[in-house]
Structure formats: C-alpha cells, structure tokens
C-alpha cells in the first residue's frame, strides 16, 4: 500500500521568502518523486501584499483549516518595508507560534564545510549541535504597556512571562531529544543571577529534571557565558535549551558559525500537532527579486519538516544533497559561490532526482 500523501501548507510570505520557498518546494517534490511518495502542496498568499490589499493578516478560520487539513506548514519569511510596524509579521508568524501552541523552536546547527565558518581552524565536526528555544512565552508575549506616553516621564514595561508548564515542557523536550539521539551533553542557558524570579524557576525545574537523566551530563550556563563559549569552543555543545528571547539571539550567533543566516533552518513544533517550518532568516527586502538569496536554509528546513513527519530517509537525502552542493561549491555568493538562488535549487533538485547535474 502506498504511504498516504503528506499535506503541506506553503506560505512563501514576503521578500526573498518567495524565492527560497520555490527552491524548497522543488527539493520536496524531487525527494518525494524519487521515493515514489507524494507531498501535496497547498499555497497560501498570507503576507504583506494581501495585508496591504485587504487588511487581513491571518484569515478567519485558518487555524482550524491548518489543524484539520494539514500535516505541516512551510513558511518563507515575513517583513516588508511598506508595513513599518510589521503588524502582519507579528500576526502571522508569532500568531501561529502562539495560537498553534508551537512551544518548541528547534534549530539544528551544522557546519557543512570549514570554509563557511568564521572561526579559525573550525572543522565540520566542531559545529554540530541543536538549540531548543522556548517559543510561546518569555519576553515574546507582548504584555506590558506605556504610561504617560509621549511625555518626558514616559514609562514602558515589557513582561517576561514564564510558567512552570512552559518551562517544564521545553526542558523535557530537550532532554528527551538528547536521550533519543544518543547525545550525552545538554546545556541550559539562562540569566538566573539577575532574573531572580523568572529564571530561578528555569534553574529549579532544570536541576530537578536533570536528576531524572543520569546518562546525560546536564550543565547550567549563564547566557552571556554561553555566547562566549559558542565562539571559543563550539565543539563542547550538543544540545542547548533556553528561553524565547535568549534563543532568538544565540541562534543568530549559531547561524554565523554555520555560514550565516542563509544556512540556518528551523522548526516551530508542537509534537503530535500541525507544526510550522521556516528558515531562520528574514525577508531581506534589499535582496528580494534578484535571484541572489541563499535557498539552502529553506531547503534544509523542508528536510526538517520531512524528518518531523517521519520521512527520515528523505530528510537525510535532502541534507546530504545540500552538503554535496556546499562541498562542490554550487552556492550563492553569501557563502562564496557564484550561482543564483534558482541555479542552486536546480542543482540540488537534479541531485535528488538522480538526473545529470550542471
């Protein structure tokens, strides 16, 4: 019996999102065809253009539609200079993270070739870890306010919201990932020396949970020290887990170690429920429409989507096709090559189909 088709909602979004998602879709289709399986892709035009035209960011009923009709969502990027406050991006990207309760932000960090790493002498085996970023709480909840706005006495607050349930579930996920993948070192990074309430909760829950995983060396680092250590000796890291805002920051640093934002992939996951996959980079308006954006982050993201849905073999094929393209210098200029977005995508597609590669 043929495996049932995967149902993927595709939201290219804005700017270079459109271009890189086109290449990710080519890779998805190619890897499925080669395996005799089916991925059913349904495009959605959510993004700046539609918002400017209609005032709608996330259309009514879309959550139910995604939850009932799809296995996963593949999203490009949100952000457009014509929407200076980025309202549509907040509504769509953060909205989906919150409303679909996608509490795990999974960001694997792999170096495919030493020439991509800015660290002197760093080899691919030195940069191979995953970051789990809490994705539904912390400083991202947009609670807070202004008082005496637009006066010299103005006050602005932003609440860092942390719940025991929220902290427990992301830490649990990170420990279980380490256990399942045979990873023996896990770091939890916080700032509990200063955030003596919110991050003291993180530290307490972490220490209690670490005791349940005797096979895993669980280490606590302050996040400032983590940033230093990631640059000095990334090799020590296998699994990192941290809060929403700190995870946002350290994953850009981590992307730098693997060749820049163009190489970084991510999944916004709620295990067992419809989850959202997006490259870490943004919409880069300045690069949009020029066929110069690196599609590898988006293609690797498509691989994460497949891995998440149980297509392990196809996911591994996508990763190794990207690795091959990097090794054979079929890349865009951000990582030293001379190909365009489409040409990189064509090469990876051909590799996945087993057809002759240009």
Residue nearest to ligand IPM as judged by C-beta position:
248
Q: Which residue number, 134 or 349, has a Cβ lying nearer to ligand IPM?
A: 134
Taking Cα atoms as reference points, which of 55, 20, 13 lies closest to residue 263? 20
35 or 94: CB nearest ligand IPM? 94
Residue 188 pairs in a beta bridge with: 220, 241
Tokens 């139910």 correspond to what residue? 64
Q: Which of residues 268-307 bind ligand IPM (CB under 6 A)?
A: 280, 282
202: left (phi over 0), alpha (psi -120 to 50) or beta: alpha
Q: How far is the CB of 134 from ligand IPM (least distance, A)?
A: 11
Catalytic residue among 37, 99, 179, 191: 191
Quick one: which segment of 48-56, 87-95, 292-300, 324-332 binds ligand IPM (CB under 6 A)? 87-95
Per CB under 5 A, contacts with Mn ion among 235-264 are 248
C-beta of 196: minimal distance to Mn ion in Å? 26
| Contact present, 266 and 76 (Cβ < 8 Å) | no
DSSP letter string over 41-79?
Answer: EEE---SHHHHHHHS-SS-TTHHHHHHHH-SEEEEEE--
* Segment near ligand IPM (CB under 6 A); pick from 86-94, 180-188, 190-198, 315-323: 86-94
296 binds, among Mn ion, ligand IPM, none (CB under 5 to 8 A by kind): none
Report the Cα–Cα distance between both ends of the chain, in Å, rounded: 36
In the bound state, the residue with its beta carbon closest to Mn ion is: 248
91 is catalytic: no
Catalytic entry in 87, 148, 224, 290: 224
DSSP lists the bridge partners of residue 266 as: 278
Which pair of tokens denotes residue 82?
């014509």
Alpha-carbon gap, residue 240 to 171, rounded angstroms: 10
What's the angle, vertex CA 12, arms to CA 326 and CA 109, rounded to 5? 35
CB environment 79-111: b (16+ within 10 A), e (fewer) = bbeebeebebbebbbbbbbbebebbbbbbbbbb
Q: Kindly name the residue from 51, 103, 106, 140 that is annotated as catalytic.
A: 140
3-state secondary structure of 82: coil
In the set 14, 126, 160, 248, the catalytic residue is 248
Task: Tell me the closest approach of the beta carbon of residue 312 to ligand IPM, in angstroms.
Answer: 25
Angle between helices 296-308 and 16-35 (to 10 degrees): 50
Catalytic residue among 33, 91, 128, 252: 252
For the window 178-207, what string marks contact with ligand IPM as x by the rule CB under 6 A?
------------------------------
Least distance to ligand IPM, CB of residue 93, Å: 6
248 binds ligand IPM, rule: CB under 6 A: yes
Give dist(CA 310, CA 279) in Å, integer: 20
Question: If binding is defined by CB under 6 A, does position 8 make contact with ligand IPM?
Answer: no
- Applying CB under 5 A, does 134 fall inside the site for Mn ion? no
Please report how close the Cβ of residue 338 comes to ligand IPM at its closest, in angstroms.
29
Q: Is 101 a catalytic residue?
A: no
Q: Is 14 helix (H, G, I), strand (E, B) or coil?
A: coil
Interface residues with ligand IPM (CB under 6 A) are: 89, 93-94, 248, 280, 282
Query: Given the rule CB under 5 A, which residues bind Mn ion?
Result: 248
Looking at the annotation, which residues are catalytic? 140, 191, 224, 248, 252
């Amino acid at each position: 019996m043929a495996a049932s088709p995967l149902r993927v909602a595709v939201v290219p979004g804005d700017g270079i999102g459109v271009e890189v998602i086109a290449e990710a879709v080519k890779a998805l289709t190619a890897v499925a065809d080669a395996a005799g399986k089916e991925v059913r892709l349904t495009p959605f035009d959510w993004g700046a253009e539609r918002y400017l035209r209609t005032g709608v960011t996330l259309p009514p009923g879309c959550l139910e539609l995604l939850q009932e009709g799809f296995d996963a969502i593949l999203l490009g990027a949100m952000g457009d200079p014509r929407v200076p406050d980025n309202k549509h991006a907040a509504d769509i990207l953060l909205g989906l993270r919150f409303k679909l309760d996608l509490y795990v932000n999974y960001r694997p960090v792999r170096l495919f070739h030493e020439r991509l790493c800015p660290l002197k002498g760093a080899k691919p085996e030195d940069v191979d870890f995953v970051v789990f970023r809490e994705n539904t709480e912390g400083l991202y909840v947009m609670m807070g306010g202004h008082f005496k706005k637009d006066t010299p006495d103005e006050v602005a607050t932003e609440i860092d919201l942390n719940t025991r349930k929220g902290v427990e579930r992301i830490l649990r996920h990170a420990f279980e990932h380490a256990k399942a993948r045979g990873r023996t070192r896990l770091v939890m990074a916080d700032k509990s020396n200063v955030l003596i309430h919110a991050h003291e909760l993180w530290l307490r829950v972490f220490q209690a949970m670490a005791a349940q995983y005797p096979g895993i060396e669980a280490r606590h680092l302050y996040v400032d020290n983590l940033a230093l250590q990631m640059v000095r000796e990334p090799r020590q890291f296998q699994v990192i887990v941290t809060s929403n805002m700190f995870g946002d920051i350290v994953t850009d640093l981590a992307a730098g170690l693997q060749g820049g934002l163009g190489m970084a992939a991510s999944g916004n996951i709620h295990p067992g429920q419809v989850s959202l996959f997006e490259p870490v980079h943004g919409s880069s308006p300045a690069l949009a429409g020029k066929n110069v954006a690196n599609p590898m982050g988006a293609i690797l993201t498509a691989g994460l989507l497949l891995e998440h849905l149980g297509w392990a073999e196809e996911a591994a094929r996508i990763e190794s096709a990207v690795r091959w393209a990097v090794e054979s210098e079929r890349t865009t200029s951000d990582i030293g090559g001379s190909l365009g977005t489409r040409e990189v995508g064509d090469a990876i597609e051909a590799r996945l189909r087993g057809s002759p590669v240009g």
